[in-house]
Amino acid sequence: MRIGELANATGTTTKTLRFYESAGLMPIPPRTSSGYRDYPSDTVHRIGFIRRGQSAGLTLAQIGEILHNRDGGNAPCAHVQFLLSGRLKELDDQIADLLALRETVQSLHSVSLTVEPAACAPNQVCQYI
């Protein structure tokens, strides 16, 4: 299948697919006599894996590692477990950070609602930030 078909079948764009190739996520596809990329049909699954990995918050670099393991004939299971547990920890940290930030912003916002603009001191930018 040609690159446009693959893009359609996977909900991506030809630009993105070439970018994935340049990023080392795709095996180099064979070419037709005229130089067009000619993908095997199971490439659809590979793209699907890439998109699901992204949905799980993995970076393209991490997804690439998994694919390279797989391409090298190794079952990437252990590595995937490792990446997922790392991701889980990152998520917990990110969520905790955002919750703390939410508290801060919330209290700034509350204060901003009770303050009179006329009370602004001229020598500071904003009395509640």
Residues that bind a second copy (CB under 8 A): 42, 45-46, 49, 52-53, 55-57, 66-67, 70, 75-78, 80-81, 84-85, 87-88, 91-92, 94-95, 98-99, 101-102, 104-106, 108-109, 112-113, 115, 117-118, 120, 123-126, 128-129
Angle at 56 between CA 54 and CA 39, to 5 degrees: 40
Distance CA 55, CA 58 (A): 7
**Residue 78 contact, options a second copy, DNA, none, Cβ 5-8 Å cut-off depending on partner type:** a second copy
**Residue 72 contact, options DNA, a second copy, none, Cβ 5-8 Å cut-off depending on partner type:** none
Q: Residue type for 117, please?
A: P
Contacts of 61 (CB under 8 A, 6+ apart): none
Interface positions with DNA (CB under 7 A):
2-5, 7, 13-16, 18-19, 32-37, 54, 59-61
Structure-token pair, residue 123:
């020598």
